Structure 1
């Protein structure tokens, strides 16, 4: 589920890693001399790209809410339609019996359908959030690793 923004962040992190690897080292130590300005510029560019991931996570959260509301409204509409059909069929006793049976079946089916829609939309939203969480975790781990390398602690 990579997009151009992800690739740009990874390219910037690769560039940061290249700068650190190309830097000269201080003799008899694990430390390197790097251009502070160059490193800070890359970190700034990475920060500019990262908020897109957070915006996408917020959009998915909102989309999940919308899907759940739509499912609830659909269920309510189906139930209201079933109740209306019941009221229209209450003319004779045989019709009433059939109407009650049909109404119960329709309401049961509508409730089952609404439940399925709610569960499906929750699973879909959870899957999307899990994917984004994994991507963000990956990015944060890479940044942490690079910062540790930058500090010479790795």
Structure 2
């Protein structure tokens, strides 16, 4: 950088200057220093513009990065909400499925019990009819034997 070189030249001039006795002061060539200061003024605006541009560019990049980060965060939150909603739907579907299975098992048990009770009542009725038929057969046989 030219400005840094010019500042180095000023330091060299000050270091090479003649010391004033009993003080911290130095005698230097006024014209030489003013010439360097003038060059610094001429070159300084470009350097400052570059520094300002770099600063603005840095701010723009940081703002863009923050915007991208916010966008990614929002997308992640949205997807998380979708997943939570899907999980909730899955939980409700599973609960409903369990409820249906439980009800189906209960209905099947009731149907089995009802079928068994119905079969038992048919068998009992058949048994009673058979008892009556056997009794009637026994009575008929006795009657036949009594006719002999």
TM over 0.5: no
Q: Which has the larger radius of gyration?
A: 2
Q: Which has the higher helix share?
A: 2
Q: Normalising by structure 2, report the TM-score.
A: 0.40
Q: Normalising by structure 1, report the TM-score.
A: 0.38
Greater RCO (Cα-Cα under 8 Å, separation 6 or more): 1
